[in-house]
Structure 1
């Protein structure tokens, strides 16, 4: 007779070590520790506290919103068709155009000069700049045109600053371009305009479609591009224009930077002008379009930018102007992320919470209980990362959603120039700030697991995340080194908060000092996520290999 041996089965139910059960357990741990809950509330309050205090203490001289006049007589930049702040101050010689039409012209020269500030000969303190008379009393310009000085054919919805437009143009250093609505830019044939190498331009309108052409001889034409301006009215203004940005010199070196900006003027000469289509009348009207988007740039109030003018002699048009037509780019304006200076304080608390969430268990020996309850140690780490990430994300989302609108209103009420931001960009800044905090907290959990020491882990994460940003934006390092720091360190994640755009068709020092990250918002955030994934991978490996 053979006995059958029945294996022993414990009557104690097995512990559930699935991720959802572990997440609930870790959430219970967090909410039952009073110090952690208090720290979370403090983190929630720090962002609006610092952000609103900073906005309340910041005072400027521009107010009333984009395009509005402030109490001090300064102007904010107008708003373009896409909702962005723009410069719109070219000198424009135009006639009304009803319906479709075509303008063809030859550009024979484009020159420029920097206009020094101050009184005296050649300065801008006297009438018309104090120089010898040019077209309409404007001082003539010669040599030294700014790289993005431009002249050509302009079709504009109206003379209202910020209105829709398309223009085919020559530039001083960037060849022929077709630009529209301030942000659109299409490159055409390269090369500068000289007396020996003039450039023919043509702009045609067919409904809301506008097409730009260029030719070296008026016979063989190259299509530069076609743009659509939805909602363009039947009656528009069309003609010739000249525009130029100011002269800006920027140098960032070890320990600081130097920035010098002066206004500039450009002069363009046109001939062989031909118009076809629904043009009304035969007289040309010249004007400098509205405000230039330069704070303090109101005509007749000591504005260093000359008014511009034009002259017609034997079919040759000579235009002089000093305003630009381009996106508004300046470090003197307040972007929406300026309200989020409290992110650093909230991030510091979130990092400390993340480290303590794991390091406390190592210090008290409770990690043995956690891994005993779930032999799959990677799940324990995943549960902790999920809980701390979710908590900091919600806290950051609430804090940023409160801080941004209130801070923006305070800045504007205090006379600061606040750049307009579209709804999707603002949503990305708010949600991105919350995601930044959440990923930084998860990184802290991973580093805390690796080091198993609270103070060292927290200090390490804060140094890796915050210090490179401070070194970059405080001009401690040369521009190249600062940009590389913000490409390869976790500090790249702060790019998710950037709302300003670096426009390739606008010459400007797009450096961290001026508020620009070297990586796009989501690309910078991806760098932070990459660091976090690597840290989590190493932490999981060590948690499995080491004794608890």
Structure 2
């Protein structure tokens, strides 16, 4: 079938002229302008209102106080730095070698998979200071970790009296090498890291820590429910070789109950060269604060208003018969739809970008004013969240426009667009479907684009509820946006093909 060709002479359908014509249409219809304004107002209004009303506090005895802020690590990230450390000073280069004969998590039921016991070189005894450690864990074998965020796997297995693990840390300037061995003779390097700016004198020794067990299951009416048990980890060390023989002990980050003693028992004993070290807490990124995108709940409601405008931007012309007039302006029909997409996508992006940037800028101080802690992120991450969220809305507008052009009916197009963008996310809040289903939907549907809004990464060595409801997505941020872009481009291509090949 030969596609439609306008009888008008060339020169009447310049793409710039089509864009200007579509821009004139958009700004001339009060309902469309009102819908876009509603999107922006909803983003700003709902975001700032929720931030203003959000409060957080802690109890100190019978007194309500502001919750203490977590320490910051070497790279400015919020961290958890709580463990028991049997240590001694090390000046200059040196090493420590131990044999771990036992590592227990002391959990009555289940396990604490990231309970750990091992050896560490730490900048100083302050929370958040730089460190490197090689350790045995309850369920993840030998690991080398440094500066809270970085984790390298060694060989699997938990040490026991029958199968002990030898561990070694060696300092050479700013470079720390972690090694493991089955017999203390043949060594395997787990990792070699550089701790920039490490002082001449550091602390070196044995440690133990346990974040406890965590069980995550579906809640009765949607979402998830968590339960767990706190208990210290215990490591047994012998064959200890260190620069000196004098040892000190530090319960790093110990919290005290109202009566005074620490909440969980930590400590160590020494018996004929055998060290038994117990400690609770964790040495890892802190993930319990508000994410950078916490001020943007209004995006979801604003998206609905945007979809209505985007679908109507093309279906109104079909309903009123105006599409024939629009197509007379261009010999190539598809260019009309591309001009609509260009105008609507550009206007949506600019308007959303301003609204989102304003909401984040105003919302963060409001959250902090209510005693809430916002997890710090690099400026580049905050920019990516702001610009990426605006891009998601712009691509949603293009996708909705294309769906409207395919169906040519406002109600059908609106319901379809809302379904493919919002339904996969809403499914994550229900307990009806298995956990894998919403994870799969957020990989293969346009809703995958919301991954670009994730401000805090998922850390493999921190066991937590990494669900979309908590701001975590199954795809990396840019990969998710690419999925949405592909859907928008493919749907627009289909709409252009249909418009070019069929009568109105």
Q: Same fold (TM over 0.5)?
A: yes
- With over 3 angstroms needed to count, the CA separation of the structure-2 counterparts of 1:547 and 1:144, relative to structure 1, is closer
1:264 aligns to what SS in structure 2? Answer: coil
Deviation at 1:508, TM superposition (A): 2.4
Deviation at 1:33, TM superposition (A): 2.4
Superposition map of 1:1-20 within 5 A: 14-20=10-16
Would the aligned equivalents of 2:113 and 2:138 in 1 still touch at CA under 8 Å? yes
1:42 to 15, 38, 42: 38
* 2-structure distance, mates of 1:353, 1:74: 44
* 1-structure distance, mates of 2:260, 2:296: 36
Q: Deviations over 1:183-221 (max 9, x none)?
A: 111111222100011111110111111000111111111
Deviation at 1:42, TM superposition (A): 2.4
* 2-structure distance, mates of 1:145, 1:346: 43
Deviation at 1:229, TM superposition (A): 1.0
- With over 3 angstroms needed to count, the CA separation of the structure-2 counterparts of 1:497 and 1:186, relative to structure 1, is same
- With over 3 angstroms needed to count, the CA separation of the structure-2 counterparts of 1:18 and 1:62, relative to structure 1, is farther
Aligned equivalent of 1:104: 97
2:242 aligns to what SS in structure 1? Answer: strand
1:340 to 296, 311, 316: 296
Would the aligned equivalents of 2:56 and 2:66 in 1 still touch at CA under 8 Å? no
Gaps of 5+ in 2: 1-7
Aligned equivalent of 1:3: none
2:65 aligns to what SS in structure 1? Answer: coil
Deviation at 1:81, TM superposition (A): 1.7
1:78 aligns with 2:33: no
Deviation at 1:16, TM superposition (A): 2.9
Aligned equivalent of 2:4: none
Would the aligned equivalents of 1:171 and 1:177 in 2 still touch at CA under 8 Å? yes
2:162 to 196, 205, 230: 196
Would the aligned equivalents of 1:81 and 1:162 in 2 still touch at CA under 8 Å? yes
Aligned equivalent of 1:322: 280
User: Which one has the largest radius of gyration?
Assistant: 1
Aligned equivalent of 1:271: 238
- With over 3 angstroms needed to count, the CA separation of the structure-2 counterparts of 1:105 and 1:197, relative to structure 1, is same
1:448 to 398, 404, 412: 404
Deviation at 1:307, TM superposition (A): 4.7
Q: Deviations over 1:218-270 (max 9, x none)?
A: 11111111001111122211111011111111112774343212212111111
Would the aligned equivalents of 1:104 and 1:201 in 2 still touch at CA under 8 Å? yes
CA RMSD of aligned residues (A): 2.2
1:473 aligns to what SS in structure 2? Answer: coil
> Which stretch of structure 1 is more off in the superposition, 172-181 or 520-529?
520-529
Superposition map of 1:229-268 within 5 A: 229-252=195-218, 255-256=221-222, 257-268=224-235
- With over 3 angstroms needed to count, the CA separation of the structure-2 counterparts of 1:422 and 1:446, relative to structure 1, is same
Aligned equivalent of 1:66: none
* 2-structure distance, mates of 1:503, 1:171: 16
Aligned equivalent of 2:332: 376
> Which stretch of structure 1 is more off in the superposition, 35-44 or 236-245?
35-44
Superposition map of 1:163-174 within 5 A: 163-174=129-140
- Give the TM-score normalised by the residue count of structure 2: 0.93
* 2-structure distance, mates of 1:99, 1:312: 27
1:520 aligns with 2:476: yes
1:61 aligns with 2:57: yes
- With over 3 angstroms needed to count, the CA separation of the structure-2 counterparts of 1:82 and 1:239, relative to structure 1, is same
> Which stretch of structure 1 is more off in the superposition, 26-35 or 463-472?
26-35
Gaps of 5+ in 1: 1-11, 64-69, 116-142, 292-296
Superposition map of 1:78-227 within 5 A: 78-114=71-107, 146-227=112-193
2:429 to 473, 482, 494: 473
* 2-structure distance, mates of 1:400, 1:376: 37
- Give the TM-score normalised by the residue count of structure 1: 0.85
Deviation at 1:300, TM superposition (A): 5.2
Give the aligned length. Answer: 493
> Which stretch of structure 1 is more off in the superposition, 27-36 or 369-378?
27-36
1:195 aligns to what SS in structure 2? Answer: coil
